[in-house]
């Protein structure tokens, strides 16, 4: 198995979108290839120098994308997406994608932390991230509002 980590390009997006759907599909997040392609395109346009793919024997096995945000204590790696197609999981590909991304980010941006989201109720990938050194920030909470409800609430004020 020959694995190459390289920068993502727009020609990769269709194949990566299909791989994303296979890797991250959850009943409560029914991704389509079109929605995944839009997400990956957004990441590639937003931070192209921190978007990488893993190519195994000529096939796209997974990808990673992350953004840079200036903060009071220095640059932060923020959000991001990391996925590996199911048939390539547990082969060290995700760790290699992370390694290349972190080394590139350090060389270009000197980030001080990486802040991202994962699902709390699932052991994987949470336990994998924790083994790498990620920890939950107890002071923070992700919140969200449905736009229609938010708009209606603001109209009533």
Encode the chain (157 residues) as per-residue pLDDT tens digits: 789 999 999 999 999 999 999 988 665 788 999 999 999 999 999 999 999 999 999 999 999 999 999 999 999 999 889 999 999 999 999 999 999 999 999 999 999 998 887 777 777 776 777 787 778 888 876 777 787 887 888 888 7
Q: Angle formed by the axes of helices 33-46 and 13-24, to 10°?
A: 120
Give the SS3 label for residue 52: strand
What predicted TM-score, i.e. pTM, was given to this entire model?
Answer: 0.84
Q: Domains (ranges, CATH) in the chain?
A: 3-155 (3.40.630.30)
| Helix, strand, coil % over all residues of the chain, rounded to 5 | 45, 25, 30
């Amino acid at each position: 198995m020959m694995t190459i980590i390289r920068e993502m390009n727009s020609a990769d997006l269709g194949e990566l979108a299909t791989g994303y759907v296979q890797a991250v599909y959850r009943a409560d997040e029914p991704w389509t290839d079109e929605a995944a392609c839009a997400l990956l395109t957004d990441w590639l346009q937003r931070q192209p120098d921190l978007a990488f793919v893993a190519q195994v024997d000529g096939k796209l096995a997974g990808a990673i994308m992350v953004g840079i945000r200036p903060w009071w204590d220095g640059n932060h790696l923020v959000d991001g997406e990391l996925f590996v197609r199911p048939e390539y999981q547990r082969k060290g590909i995700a760790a290699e994608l992370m390694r290349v991304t972190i080394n590139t980010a350090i060389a270009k941006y000197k980030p001080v932390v990486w802040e991202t989201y994962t699902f709390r109720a699932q052991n994987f990938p949470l336990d994998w991230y924790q083994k790498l050194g990620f920890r939950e920030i107890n002071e923070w909470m992700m919140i969200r509002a449905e736009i229609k409800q938010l708009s209606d609430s603001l109209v009533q004020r």
